[in-house]
Amino acid sequence: MDKSKFGKRYEGKVAIVTASTQGIGFSIAERLGLEGASVVVSSRKQNNVDEAVEKLKAQGIEVLGVVCHVSNKQQRKNLIDKTVQKYGKIDVVVSNAAANPSIDDILQTQESVLDKLWEINVKSSILILQDAAPHLQKGSSVVIISSFTAYQPPATMAMYGVTKTALLGLTKALAAEMAPNTRVNCVAPGFVPTSFAAFLTTNDAIRKEIEQRTLLNRLGTTQDMAAATAFLASDDASYITAEILVVAGGMPSRL
Ligand code: NAP
């Protein structure tokens, strides 16, 4: 990837990306930072935050790192407070955190697991935006990371898929509520070989089967997801809101 080819669409902008110390979230923070944004990275573990900050700084990116488990009220508030203290405003929020704690059928899933899925995958996205909303600028943008599984939740990830379906509805509802000052869009990734998807993508047979389900005959990369997010959150997409962009190599999603 030739990073020098990136534009500078984010100069003067401040972007928060949740769950951004590795995987898709990290690549989104990196992309926005390389395009000129001041980026705020966060996740549950301080050492992961420190490591991500160092990697981004080494690329000349202006970055702040804050520990934030998205289901912790105090840590969510701290993430927003620290951002505003340091940069004075928020232009972009990317809500990227998710859990997938179970492969059980929905009717076999324990209530505690249902609660965790709802809390991390859906409720925390809402609560972080409640905290961020007073600081969002005119022309600001929210991107919610869903999944292609939102359209047809697969058996092994059924309840996770259902929470991702809820995020499509949340995108539409928040886009109406936050218009016209803030646009709200959604990226629905296909399979990307991160630690989140490792149980699928590190098995050669499953990996091959997934690749064959795409039209482009490969898995997605974290950079593919970052490019789509960077487009939707930028002024290039200034007439796009309440939309879902599926980035899944042509895997079946919706018409
Ligand atoms: P990943 O590589 O496993 O990265 C997860 C990141 O989230 C890490 O930085 C982790 O750091 C942080 N994290 C985990 N739980 C958190 C929490 N409760 N609060 C705050 N941070 C947390 O995951 P990924 O594959 O990039 O997934 C990112 C998003 O893409 C998720 O919403 C996922 O549903 C979606 N997605 C992924 C795929 C795929 O194939 N990979 C496909 C469709 C959708 P700490 O351990 O330090 O917290």
Does 186 sit in the ligand 1 pocket, CB within 6 Å? Answer: no
Asked if residue 252 belongs to a domain, the reply is: no
> What distance in angstroms lies between residue 20's CA and the mean position of ligand 1's atoms?
8
> What distance in angstroms lies between residue 97's CA and the mean position of ligand 1's atoms?
5
- pLDDT tens-digit readout, 183-199: 999 999 999 999 998 88
Does 21 sit in the ligand 1 pocket, CB within 6 Å? Answer: yes
Count of residues in the chain: 255
Q: What is the pLDDT of residue 199?
A: 81
Domain, as residue range, for 91: 3-247
Handedness of CA 102, 104, 105, 109 (dihedral sign): negative
> What distance in angstroms lies between residue 136's CA and the mean position of ligand 1's atoms?
24
Phi-psi region of 110 (alpha: psi -120 to 50; beta: other; left: phi over 0): beta
Asked if residue 202 belongs to a domain, the reply is: yes
Asked if residue 253 belongs to a domain, the reply is: no
Atom from ligand 1 closest to the CA of residue 27: 26
Atom from ligand 1 closest to the CA of residue 219: 40
Say if residue 2's pLDDT is above 80: no
Say if residue 86's pLDDT is above 80: yes
For 74, the 3-state DSSP assignment is: helix
Does 38 sit in the ligand 1 pocket, CB within 6 Å? Answer: no
Please name the residue whose Cα sits nearest to atom 39 of ligand 1: 192
Say if residue 1's pLDDT is above 80: no
Band the pLDDT of 211: cuts 50, 70, 90: very high
Strands laid side by side in the 136-145 sheet? 63-67, 38-43, 14-17, 90-95, 136-145, 182-189, 244-247
Say if residue 4's pLDDT is above 90: no
> Is the overall model pTM greater than 0.95, yes or no?
yes
Q: What is the pLDDT of residue 102?
A: 87
Say if residue 62's pLDDT is above 80: yes
- Domains of the chain: total: 1
- pLDDT tens-digit readout, 213-245: 999 999 999 999 999 999 999 999 999 999 999
Asked if residue 19 belongs to a domain, the reply is: yes
Band the pLDDT of 200: cuts 50, 70, 90: confident
Please name the residue whose Cα sits nearest to atom 12 of ligand 1: 19
- Domain harbouring 217, CATH code: 3.40.50.720
> What distance in angstroms lies between residue 79's CA and the mean position of ligand 1's atoms?
17
Name the DSSP letter for residue 49. Answer: H
For the segment 99-125, the average pLDDT, to the nearest whole number, is 96
The rounded mean pLDDT for the chain is 96
Q: What is the pLDDT of residue 255?
A: 87
For the segment 110-120, the average pLDDT, to the nearest whole number, is 97
Asked if residue 255 belongs to a domain, the reply is: no
Per the DSSP assignment, residues forming a β-bridge with 16 are 40, 93
